[in-house]
Amino acid sequence: MLLLLPIGLQAQVRTERLLEKGWRFTRDDAPAFAEPSYDDSRWQEVTVPHDWAIYGPFSAGNDLQHTAIAQDGQTQAVEHAGRTGGLPFVGTGWYRLRFEVPERNEGRRCTLLFDGAMSHARVYVNGREAIRWPNGYNSFHTDITPLLNPGGENLLAVRLENLPESSRWYPGAGIYRNVHLIVTDEAHVPVWGTQIITRRADEASARVRQCTALAVPQGKSPADYAIETAVTDPAGRIVARHRQSAGADFGDHCFEQEFTIDRPALWSPDTPALYTSTSEIYEGGELKDRYVTVFGIRTVEAVQGEGFRLNGKPLKFRGVCLHHDLGPLGGIVNESAIRHRIRLLKEMGCNAIRTSHNMPAPELIEICDETGMMVMAESFDEWETKKVENGYHKEFGQWAERDLVNLVRRFRNNPSVVMWCIGNEVPDQWNGDRGPKLSLRLQNICHREDPTRPVTQGMDAPDAVTANNMAAVMDIPGFNYRPHLYARNYLRLPQEMILGSETASTISSRGIYKFPVVRRSMPRYDDHQASSYDVEHCGWSNLPEDDFIQHDDRPYCMGEFVWTGFDYLGEPTPYYSDWPSHSSLFGIIDLAGIPKDRYWLYRSKWNPEAETLHILPHWNWKGREGEVTPVFIYTNYPEAELFINGRSQGRRRKDTGVTIDNSADSVSAADLKRQRRYRLMWMDTRYEPGTVKAVAYDEEGNAVAEREIRTAGEPYRIVLEADRTVIAADGKDYAFVTVRVEDRQGTPCPLADNEIRFEVTGAGYYRAGANGNPASLEPFQRPRMKLFSGMMTAVIAPTERPGTITVKATSPGLKKATVEIRSEAATQR
């Protein structure tokens, strides 16, 4: 397929388009694939973003790792079957695309920008290597003008290669993020060429400085050009303008412009106000470039003894760590999937995301800007010392600076990014000499590229890093786990603040409950699940309340980033060797995007203004009649009464007398003492079929809310619920359809595992599905799947033709269901 830039665009000073369609793809490998003359017509036709491995099939043999995970306390090598998800990401893949650029490209520059390609990219244009970039998560760009056939057809070829044992989770595979083709004049603002800094800001006014780089043709100097910048507020009104005439001394090819903005709308999670700067570059009277930068006005500070401040106000992080995969969609970037996730997190009261352990997709950051979600943007999981055999330690020496520079330059204008993270539990922590030096070096690179944001890293060896000063040299010392050591770490640190850079690692499976209900570390069950009573964790980790209490009671604790917001592909701890197990159990939300019970615990704490009154477990325990079956309530209210079949089981109140110190011993831990401060627990209720009702009371003792669950009868009908019933007819605005089974009375059936078949007709198709079962090996793309704990999610894609999409779900013995989704052309929207 030939890609032509629309003729009209040639007249524009700058054009940018995504190279999405018409790619050819193969898993074979040969040097000839870079050559324009090679015939690729037999290759698979694919659309980018594309993840070649998510189509499976799952197999224990895919990237089977035989190793001891030191971080997890393993001293002897064991077999790790699903560590990277059991999907076929290892090996090579080639992508080829034929494209044209405007005929009159005399005096024009052409740049390719990759948002990320997994991994070890080698990019060829017309048979010649244009750039290579090993890190699969990072953005990189290159000017391809000299390699182009003026006015003719060009061939872009990309070779990717993923090594075995190169990751600790599912990395995805392929050109899984967007590729941009940017055409400019010879005189132009280069990629990521602006830097906009809030110098100071309060409600009355803000001072903002913009630096703009300029690339100029040979024989010219930046002083030959003028720049005019206009800043518009969130409503599109021009609020500042500045013109710098030609002839000035632009020093290091960088125009500096300063703006005062009265009564600025400050960016924050509650007020995600975005400003736009549009800079025009002129040579004489001729417009050469128009460059748009979206930014926010806000200040961030890490204050000694106090913690983090946004716009001068103290703020604690209620954050989650997120790996990059989008569950059944794999590594591909997709805006609608990201929005769906952020909606769920915001509704839970989450205010920050840590992009563990790598550079995020630009779409994620832009959506965080827009919706008000702070970001800790991370770079590396390894420095010089290896965690996995073929990990980033092999590239670190040569690439670390370039990788970090690209991360910072790409996202330095995004207001959601409030700090940089240079590493995660790097084994260099234990190296008293190298650890602190490397920390300083990487932190300094961040400061050099961006003097406004603090830098942190997640460290899990508190004794080592407080002894060798690796923690002391950081702007913000970030600690992974071990909250019981925070107070001691604090005394050893000049910054007098502690960030919970990674916390909890509580494990659970949605809708699965284990008896007796006891706190357990690294439990393993035959079904490869973990209990949704939220009492199970890893050897190094803890329960949510062990973190809540620290950040509530110690003013210097800055808040936390929970491991993790969503389940992700790979790392099915503690089922290291127990295949099948393809995804993690750490998520507050499962791989299908369905909240687990824990979601309501975090919501009750993090979003106290919203009413939460959640009862667990489900009430379908045939065979457990008369047996002790504890009931927990997660609520924002201080007190509740529980009724089983109308009989009161007593009133419970959150125990505010529990403190860090009086609950620090092992007996208190086993007794779930801290949990009594944050959840309401009836530990000795007995099961009998019927109803479980909760009545919540406010501080004044008024009954303010009521909730009831009941024992479900036989599965009777399928119920479909789409997150949106109107989407864009652009091929990528997916709808997320929640699928559940109910009995005749409309009670959800929590044990239903019926296989549901989908038939999608009209202007869309079945894109993928997931049920959140980490031990399922059903392919995500097949339009039929078994429910897990009574539910699953179907992802429906629109075609590019507007119309109605009909999703029909059937299963033998169940009443079928349909849902209609309308897809509209951009002009209709």
Residue 560 found at the interface with ligand GAL (CB under 6 A): no
For strand 23-26 and strand 44-46, is the pairing parallel, antiparallel, or unpaired? antiparallel
Report in angstroms how near the CB of residue 358 gets to ligand GAL at its nearest: 11
Residue 67 found at the interface with ligand GAL (CB under 6 A): no
Report the C-alpha gap between 816 and 808 in whole angstroms. 7
Residue 505 found at the interface with ligand GAL (CB under 6 A): yes
Q: Specify the residue, 167 or 612, whose C-beta has the smaller distance to ligand GAL.
A: 167
Residue 166 found at the interface with ligand GAL (CB under 6 A): no
What are the CA-CA distances from residue 437 to residues 302, 383, 444, 456, 468 (Å)?
22, 12, 10, 14, 10
Taking CB under 6 A as the criterion, which residues in 584-603 touch ligand GAL? none
Report in angstroms how near the CB of residue 424 gets to ligand GAL at its nearest: 5
Alpha-helical regions (H) of 199-243: none
Report the C-alpha gap between 274 and 370 in whole angstroms. 7
**Pick the catalytic residue: 395, 425, 560, 641?**
425
Report the C-alpha gap between 755 and 235 in whole angstroms. 49
Is it true that the peptide bond before 57 is cis, omega within 30 degrees of 0? yes
Q: Specify the residue, 530 or 729, whose C-beta has the smaller distance to ligand GAL.
A: 530
CB 103, CB 601: distance < 8 Å: no
Integer-rounded Cα Rg, in Å, for the chain is 27
CB 250, CB 150: distance < 8 Å: no
135 Cβ partners below 8 Å, 6+ apart? 119, 358, 359, 392, 395, 399, 403
Q: Specify the residue, 216 or 352, whose C-beta has the smaller distance to ligand GAL.
A: 352
Count of residues interacting with ligand GAL (CB under 6 A) = 13
Residue 184 found at the interface with ligand GAL (CB under 6 A): no
Q: Specify the residue, 481 or 687, whose C-beta has the smaller distance to ligand GAL.
A: 481
Residue 538 found at the interface with ligand GAL (CB under 6 A): yes
Residue 479 found at the interface with ligand GAL (CB under 6 A): no
Residue 425 found at the interface with ligand GAL (CB under 6 A): yes
CB 363, CB 410: distance < 8 Å: no
CB 635, CB 697: distance < 8 Å: no
The closest of 130, 226, 140 to 175, measured between CA atoms, is: 140
Residue 541 found at the interface with ligand GAL (CB under 6 A): yes
Report the C-alpha gap between 419 and 66 in whole angstroms. 36
For strand 784-786 and strand 476-480, is the pairing parallel, antiparallel, or unpaired? unpaired
Q: Specify the residue, 460 or 475, whose C-beta has the smaller distance to ligand GAL.
A: 460
Report in angstroms how near the CB of residue 571 gets to ligand GAL at its nearest: 6
Collapsing DSSP to helix, strand or coil, 556 comes out as: coil
Report in angstroms how near the CB of residue 586 gets to ligand GAL at its nearest: 6
For strand 536-537 and strand 476-480, is the pairing parallel, antiparallel, or unpaired? unpaired
The closest of 74, 75, 77 to 65, measured between CA atoms, is: 77
Please report the DSSP string for 422-472 in residue order: EEES-GGGG-TTHHHHHHHHHHHHHHHH-TTS-EEEEES-HHHHHHSSTTT
Report in angstroms how near the CB of residue 481 gets to ligand GAL at its nearest: 7
Residue whose beta carbon is closest to ligand GAL: 505
Alpha-helical regions (H) of 528-659: 544-553, 597-606
The packing angle between helices 393-411 and 362-371, to 10°, is 40
Taking CB under 6 A as the criterion, which residues in 114-133 touch ligand GAL? none
Q: For residue 735, list its beta bridge partners.
A: 796
Please report the DSSP string for 130-189 in residue order: EEEE--SSS-EEEE-GGGS-TTSEEEEEEEEEE-TT--SS----BS-S-EEEEEEESSBP
Report in angstroms how near the CB of residue 480 gets to ligand GAL at its nearest: 6
Q: Specify the residue, 73 or 150, whose C-beta has the smaller distance to ligand GAL.
A: 73
For strand 374-378 and strand 417-424, is the pairing parallel, antiparallel, or unpaired? parallel
Tokens of 486: 């925070």
Annotation says 425 is catalytic:
yes
Please report the DSSP string for 326-374 in residue order: -GGGTT---HHHHHHHHHHHHHHT--EEE-TTSPPPHHHHHHHHHHT-E
Residue 547 found at the interface with ligand GAL (CB under 6 A): no
- Backbone region of residue 486 per phi and psi (left: phi > 0; alpha: psi in -120 to 50; beta: other values): alpha
Annotation says 502 is catalytic:
yes
Among 63, 502, 545, 590, binds ligand GAL (CB under 6 A): 502
Report in angstroms how near the CB of residue 479 gets to ligand GAL at its nearest: 11
Q: Specify the residue, 480 or 789, whose C-beta has the smaller distance to ligand GAL.
A: 480
Q: Specify the residue, 450 or 502, whose C-beta has the smaller distance to ligand GAL.
A: 502
Q: Specify the residue, 178 or 508, whose C-beta has the smaller distance to ligand GAL.
A: 508
Q: Specify the residue, 283 or 382, whose C-beta has the smaller distance to ligand GAL.
A: 382
Q: Specify the residue, 380 or 396, whose C-beta has the smaller distance to ligand GAL.
A: 380
Q: For residue 96, list its beta bridge partners.
A: 24, 157
Report in angstroms how near the CB of residue 538 gets to ligand GAL at its nearest: 5
Report in angstroms how near the CB of residue 465 gets to ligand GAL at its nearest: 14
Among 71, 452, 649, 747, binds ligand GAL (CB under 6 A): 71
Q: Specify the residue, 43 or 479, whose C-beta has the smaller distance to ligand GAL.
A: 479
Report the C-alpha gap between 290 and 11 in whole angstroms. 13
What are the CA-CA distances from residue 378 to residues 316, 354, 368, 647, 801 (Å)?
19, 7, 15, 52, 39
Report the C-alpha gap between 52 and 136 in whole angstroms. 14
Report the C-alpha gap between 641 and 651 in whole angstroms. 4
Report in angstroms how near the CB of residue 503 gets to ligand GAL at its nearest: 10
Residue 424 found at the interface with ligand GAL (CB under 6 A): yes
The pattern of x and - marking residues 567 through 586 that bind ligand GAL according to CB under 6 A reads ----x-x-------------
Among 563, 568, 606, 734, binds ligand GAL (CB under 6 A): 563
Report the C-alpha gap between 99 and 41 in whole angstroms. 15
Q: Specify the residue, 431 or 505, whose C-beta has the smaller distance to ligand GAL.
A: 505
Among 26, 480, 542, 776, binds ligand GAL (CB under 6 A): 480
**Pick the catalytic residue: 363, 502, 536, 641?**
502
Number of H helices, E strands in the chain: 10, 49
Cβ burial of 256 (10 Å; 0-12, 13-18, 19+) is: middle
Residues classed as catalytic: 425, 502
Contacts with ligand GAL by CB under 6 A lie at 71, 357, 424-425, 460, 480, 502, 505, 538, 541, 563, 571, 573
